[in-house]
Amino acid sequence: MARIFAICFALLIVQCVTGAEPAAKKEAATKKVPPFAKLTVAQPAAQQTVSGCIDVCIKAELPDGASMPVAMLVGLGGAPWTPLAKKGDTGEWAGQLNSTLVPNGPQKLIVLTDNKRANISIDVVVSNPLQVFFGDLHSHTSYSDGTLAPAVAHDYARNTSKLDIFCLTDHLEGVSDDEWLDMRRVAFAANEDGKFVSFPGLEWTKKWGHINIYDPKTRVWPEDPAEFYKAAADAGVVLKFNHPGDGTVTHDGLAYSEAGDKAMQLMEVRSDVEEKAFIRALNNGWHIAPDGSDDTHSPNWGNVKTWTGILVPGLSERNVLDALKNRRTYSTLDRNCRLGFEVNRAAMGSVLEEPCSSVQLAIHVEDPDAGDNISLIEVFEDGNAADRCEPNAAKHQWELNRPVKPGKHYYFAKVKQADGNVIWSAPVWITGSGQ
């Protein structure tokens, strides 16, 4: 018995010393990865600046035993995904990608195949001119205190009001789970890249003040304003101060919140009274752009008296949400007047980090209706009208230089038309170097 014990013990020691592995583990370690297609991007080149519709060509080499992918898709940093077509037996796949549907700047050109191991990406830079599209980002249906239903509202906004961009924002306190599901379903179904952008929204409605939330993933948000600001900043949504009056009463008198400023990008500015709230908020330190949504509770979505101009390289949900995040909006009482406002060549909404000793302001206004003349353009510096011109034409380009004092400053443009319509641009924020 003692001898058998000794033999077993000896065998155990031998196994430990030789490191013998269990059979299953050994098999897994020796299992070979099946060969897969090696892809390279032949066009465009890595680091290339691309614009408009771009030709994409992918070359596939097949190591022994590898098979050609069955399908290939290409996208710039994500959706929309464009299918590529196989060019006979050349090993090449080709197609065209519309770069105007994604935000400007560095993007990854991603190639997806039916074999994850074969997928590749390269870095490119997307650069397309900004265009103006018109939208309404605040309205209601019977899901809170308006009329009819989201499907009717989206159809009206697109086909009767001829809006480019629409976001329904029923009061979240009155929306049920089923209604919230329907709001999202209808908004996503109505969206059509290149033609009409829609995404879901909600209005956070407290005595303290009303705030719109764009593209929220949930309808459950904190009641307490400070907690709400933090939750919104953490969630990465875009917020808007709604109907702020003159800014002294609602939203705690627009007291600055660092967490809130991260998520808050917009404020309704549709009258001289709301302009006071806008300037008060800017002077308090908020980085926000004016919005001209109409907050209708009637069946006339996007067909009232105020609209929002949104500057994007092309009409897509990604671009519009990017524009809102970067404050590239203006408020307009005219349905189709286009406004461009740049400071040191940066678009409206920009925060320029590099200190400067002077600013070059460029304002471009263009109303497509002959005779719908611009009577006055004012440039505001830190909330005060600093310079003006009186074009008396439907189209005008105005450029001016101004010296800058040390410290932080902001500029925006206010345009008046002869018929009384007013347009407010988003500000640009700068730091004066004092040299």
Give exposure, 197-223, as e/b (b: 16+ Cβ within 10 Å): bbbbbbbbbeeebbbbbbbbeebebee
Alpha carbon 223 to its chain's center: 26
299 close to 324: Cβ distance less than 8 angstroms? no
Rounded-to-integer distance, Cα 149 and Cα 142, Å: 6
Interaction mask 187-226, Zn ion, x per CB under 5 A: ----------------x------x----------------
Q: Which is nearer to Zn ion, 191 or 242 (CB)?
A: 242
Rounded-to-integer distance, Cα 321 and Cα 288, Å: 15
Q: Which is nearer to Zn ion, 302 or 314 (CB)?
A: 302
State the nearest-atom distance from the C-beta of 162 to Zn ion, in Å. Answer: 22
The secondary element (H helix, E strand) that includes residue 329 is strand 329-332
State the nearest-atom distance from the C-beta of 138 to Zn ion, in Å. Answer: 6
Token reading at 5: 């014990």
CA-angle at 115, arms to 113 and 116, nearest 5°: 90
Q: Which is nearer to Zn ion, 210 or 335 (CB)?
A: 210
Stretch that binds Zn ion, among 85-93, 237-245, 274-282, 370-378 (CB under 5 A): 237-245
Counting residues that bind Zn ion (by CB under 5 A) gives: 4
Token reading at 158: 């697109």
State the nearest-atom distance from the C-beta of 167 to Zn ion, in Å. Answer: 12
Q: Which is nearer to Zn ion, 203 or 367 (CB)?
A: 203
Q: Which residues pair with 93 in a beta bridge?
A: 58, 86
Q: Which is nearer to Zn ion, 203 or 274 (CB)?
A: 203
CA distances from residue 262 to 31, 237, 253, 259, 431 in whole angstroms, order as listed:
50, 9, 18, 5, 19
State the nearest-atom distance from the C-beta of 252 to Zn ion, in Å. Answer: 16
Rounded-to-integer distance, Cα 32 and Cα 345, Å: 55
276 close to 254: Cβ distance less than 8 angstroms? no
Interaction mask 401-430, Zn ion, x per CB under 5 A: ------------------------------
State the nearest-atom distance from the C-beta of 113 to Zn ion, in Å. Answer: 46
Q: Which of 128, 242, 293, 316 binds Zn ion (CB under 5 A)?
A: 242
Stretch that binds Zn ion, among 173-181, 227-235, 293-301, 304-312 (CB under 5 A): 293-301
238 close to 320: Cβ distance less than 8 angstroms? no
Q: Which residue is nearest to Zn ion (CB)?
A: 210
Q: Which is nearer to Zn ion, 156 or 411 (CB)?
A: 156
283 close to 383: Cβ distance less than 8 angstroms? yes
Q: Counting Cβ atoms within 10 Å, is residue 52 exposed (0-12), middle (13-18) or buried (19+)?
A: middle
State the nearest-atom distance from the C-beta of 79 to Zn ion, in Å. Answer: 30
Q: Which is nearer to Zn ion, 141 or 329 (CB)?
A: 141
Residue of 314, 209, 312 whose CA lies nearest to 264: 209
Q: Which is nearer to Zn ion, 149 or 352 (CB)?
A: 149
Name the amino acid, one letter, at 388: R
Rounded-to-integer distance, Cα 47 and Cα 34, Å: 31
Name the amino acid, one letter, at 174: G
Q: Which is nearer to Zn ion, 169 or 421 (CB)?
A: 169
State the nearest-atom distance from the C-beta of 320 to Zn ion, in Å. Answer: 20
State the nearest-atom distance from the C-beta of 266 to Zn ion, in Å. Answer: 14
Q: Which of 275, 295, 317, 342 binds Zn ion (CB under 5 A)?
A: 295
Q: Which is nearer to Zn ion, 203 or 334 (CB)?
A: 203
Token reading at 175: 């929306």
Q: Which is nearer to Zn ion, 93 or 307 (CB)?
A: 307
State the nearest-atom distance from the C-beta of 169 to Zn ion, in Å. Answer: 6
State the nearest-atom distance from the C-beta of 228 to Zn ion, in Å. Answer: 15
Residue of 302, 254, 261 whose CA lies nearest to 278: 254
State the nearest-atom distance from the C-beta of 249 to Zn ion, in Å. Answer: 14
141 close to 179: Cβ distance less than 8 angstroms? no
Q: Which residues bind Zn ion (CB under 5 A)?
A: 203, 210, 242, 295
